Structure 1
Amino acid sequence: MVVAKETRLQEILEGTKQYHVPLYQRTYSWGRKELGRLFDDVVSLAVDRASDAAVTHFIGSIVLAPTPSNGPAGVQEYLVVDGQQRLTTLSLLLAAIRDHRRETEGELHFERINEKFLINKYEANSQRVRVPWSGGVWGVGVAP
């Protein structure tokens, strides 16, 4: 049985998890139009949350399926059935924010974003990156 539930993006990105895009999914292909819509959603949510921290905003669905290799411990692995473009774009946005904060505010901010949202710090190379990206390397300190 498949159960849909509302989940905060933070819950998807935090923790010891890794997301795999199955081969049947299209490659990353979002252009300016899709990126602009998602960015507008993120900015709108940030503005709304500045006055009310409880505000939420639907940014689209992400459908995940646990992989058969999931066990009681270690990295929980999921197949991204739907939402790969969105999940990848949000991870790229976090990587850009991470890099900008490193340049403007120092190493602590780089590590905080990297470890909280982008990597599984203490995992082996194959499970280190939370959202593996076939288009290239995420950035300093993230590539396996």
Structure 2
Amino acid sequence: MTDPFVQTIVPVTHDLGAFEVRRALPSRQRTMVGPFIFVDQFGPAQLPAGQAMDVRPHPHINLATVTWLFAGQFGGAIDHRDSLGSFATIRPGQVNLMTAGSGIVHSERSPASERVATNGGGPSLYGMQTWLA
């Protein structure tokens, strides 16, 4: 029997202030897998009261992002807004697909309703985002 695993990649952790993102792709071992050029996981995290996910507007071109929030204690929610006027609150178990095409600007933030302190903490986060080219 052959080993089903081709390669093990240890993700690199990036500090985004209120939370950390573990990025498996791209890495030194592998730049992409098929169309996947970025594979990020964030959480599980309970952010401190007064803090939130606050990824300000930034551009993308010629790619798609897929954001998926995991269910459970740290599920949380993300407000996704873009320059085409689209708005969606992503909740655990839901998927958001954004296709950038020739260009788009978008932001990802904790919903205002989740920024209010509950149980001594702020919003929770747990999910992943992949980028496809």
Instruction: Pick the TM interval, shorter chain.
Output: under 0.3
The structure richer in helix per residue is 1
Q: Which fold has the larger relative contact order, with Cα–Cα distance below 8 Å and residues 6 or more apart in sequence?
A: 2
Structure with greater strand share of residues: 2
Q: TM-score, normalised by structure 2?
A: 0.25
